[in-house]
Amino acid sequence: MTELVLTVLVFLGLVHFQCSREVAWQNRCIQNLRSISLAIAEYVQDWDERLPPAQRWADAISERHLQRDVMSQVFRCPKSSFPFGYAFNAFLDSVPVSQVDSLAETVLLFECDSSSPNAFGDQTNLPQRPRHLEGDIYAFVDGHAKWIRRSNVSYLRWKP
């Protein structure tokens, strides 16, 4: 009986530890996307209120708004096996921010599997499997980032 109780307690401890680790990874990913969003906001201020070109968005914000040594840290989701973990919404390619109807609802950045820092696309470019507890992290044009369950992706706004 004592062995059973001990086994159950160890199992519960492991489950709690794994869940805590998952939440920590999720929070790190959210913070990464917030940092990248802030760099994009600075870029927008410098470039006549236009979002960066999709094909070179990471290079564009790295030139003046993000230090190179920081780039390797914030451009990778801690749960990704790829060197870069985020992509830019292709529908926002060089779009003036004033043409985005809903800043808080329009996806700016999302998780992807990429070997390039300049990955871009849409919801078809999400990782094959969700990285964070059946969901992914998204950043929006207004700068906020949050976790969204993969089954709710179809409700997200991608076009300005």
- Cα separation, 143 vs 140, in Å, equals 5
Q: CB–CB of 85/112 below 8 Å? A: yes
Relative orientation angle of helices 57-64 and 2-46, to the nearest 10 degrees: 80
Contacts of 43 (CB under 8 A, 6+ apart): 51, 52, 60, 61, 64, 65
**pLDDT tens per residue across span 102-129:** 999 999 999 999 888 999 999 999 999 9
At 99 the pLDDT is: 98
Residue 105 CA neighbour count, 13 Å, CB half: 9
The residue extents of the domains of the chain are: 2-155
At 137 the pLDDT is: 95
At 81 the pLDDT is: 85
The pair phi, psi for residue 9, each rounded to 5°, is -65, -40
**pLDDT tens per residue across span 42-58:** 999 999 999 999 999 99
Q: In 10 A of CB 120, how many CB atoms?
A: 25
Per-residue pLDDT band at 3 (split at 50, 70, 90): low
pTM metric for this prediction: 0.85
